[in-house]
Amino acid sequence: MSIKSYKDLVVWQKSIALVEEVYVATEKFPEKEKYRLINQICRAAISIPSNIAEGSSRKSTKEFLRFIRVSQGSVAECETQLIISTKLGYIDDSDFSGLYEKLKEISVMLHFLYNSLKRKESNSDSQILKLSDSQ
């Protein structure tokens, strides 16, 4: 299968599904958290697929790598906020476990995507060096 768009990336698709689940989970939070923790969790979750999409639309692999790193940071941020939500009693252990497993899976996929892009960048750089050496 050929990747024509960021929408073809399974990690992007799983990140979108995570956002939906985060929204459902935060609906149970108290109203007082609407502009505090709910806002932060949703923003972190939304940032994951958003940065994948933005990075993939950039013109260089180096830029895409930077956006993948931002997505990885957003995974950690979202995880931290979900841990806090659990400690405050806003999310039960079973909801947390499901979200945490999805975050772990996305994190691993981002890691592999990053490494794959890094190899592509290295191969591209070595091709350029070979071309310049042969002249």
pLDDT of residue 50: 98
Angle at 108 between CA 104 and CA 111, to 5 degrees: 140
Domain enclosing residue 30, as ranges: 6-133
| CA–CA dist 28, 69 (Å, integer) | 31
| CA–CA dist 36, 21 (Å, integer) | 18
Residue 132 has pLDDT above 50, yes or no: no
Quote the number of domains for the chain: 1
44 is a domain residue:
yes
72 is a domain residue:
yes
When comparing pLDDT for 44 and 58, which is higher? 44
pLDDT of residue 2: 56
Give the domain CATH number at 13.
1.20.1440.60
Angle at 61 between CA 5 and CA 115, to 5 degrees: 95
- Predicted confidence (pLDDT) per residue in 53-92, tens digit: 999 998 889 999 999 999 999 999 999 999 999 999 999 9
- Predicted confidence (pLDDT) per residue in 82-97, tens digit: 999 999 999 999 999 9
1 is a domain residue:
no
Element (H, E) at 117: helix 93-133
pTM over 0.85: yes
79 is a domain residue:
yes
Cα 34 to Cα 74, 93, 94, distances in angstroms: 19, 21, 22
